[in-house]
């Protein structure tokens, strides 16, 4: 639950960043960052299941 909460906070920050500076590069970086974050969360949860 903490990870989901963290993800929403990061998303809010990204949206704020993107609305302040509508640069294509920033959009791409934000997208990559978001995808990386989601995959890290997924890997972390699947790793926890294997250990348990």
Structural domains of the chain, count: 1
Domain for residue 21, yes or no?
Answer: yes
Q: Which DSSP string corresponds to the chain? A: -HHHHHHHHHHHHHHHHHHH---HHHHHHHHHHHHHHHHHHHHHHHHHHHH-
**Domain encompassing residue 28:** 2-46
Give buried/exposed letters for 17-41 (b at 16+ CB in 10 A, else e). Answer: eeeeeeeeeeeeebeeeeeebeeee
Domain for residue 42, yes or no?
Answer: yes
pLDDT band at 1 (very low <50, low <70, confident <90, very high): low
Domain for residue 29, yes or no?
Answer: yes
Domain for residue 11, yes or no?
Answer: yes
Domain for residue 7, yes or no?
Answer: yes
pLDDT band at 52 (very low <50, low <70, confident <90, very high): low
Global confidence as pTM: 0.42
What are the pLDDT digits (tens) for 6-23?
A: 777 877 877 776 677 666
Mean pLDDT calculated for residue range 28-38: 85
Domain for residue 51, yes or no?
Answer: no
Asked if residue 30 lies in contact with residue 14, where contact means CB atoms within 8 angstroms, the answer is yes
């Amino acid at each position: 639950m903490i990870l989901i909460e963290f993800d929403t906070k990061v998303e809010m920050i990204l949206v704020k960043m993107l609305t302040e500076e509508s640069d294509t590069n920033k959009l791409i970086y934000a997208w990559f960052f978001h995808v990386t974050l989601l995959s890290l969360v997924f890997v972390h949860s699947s790793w926890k299941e294997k250990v348990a």
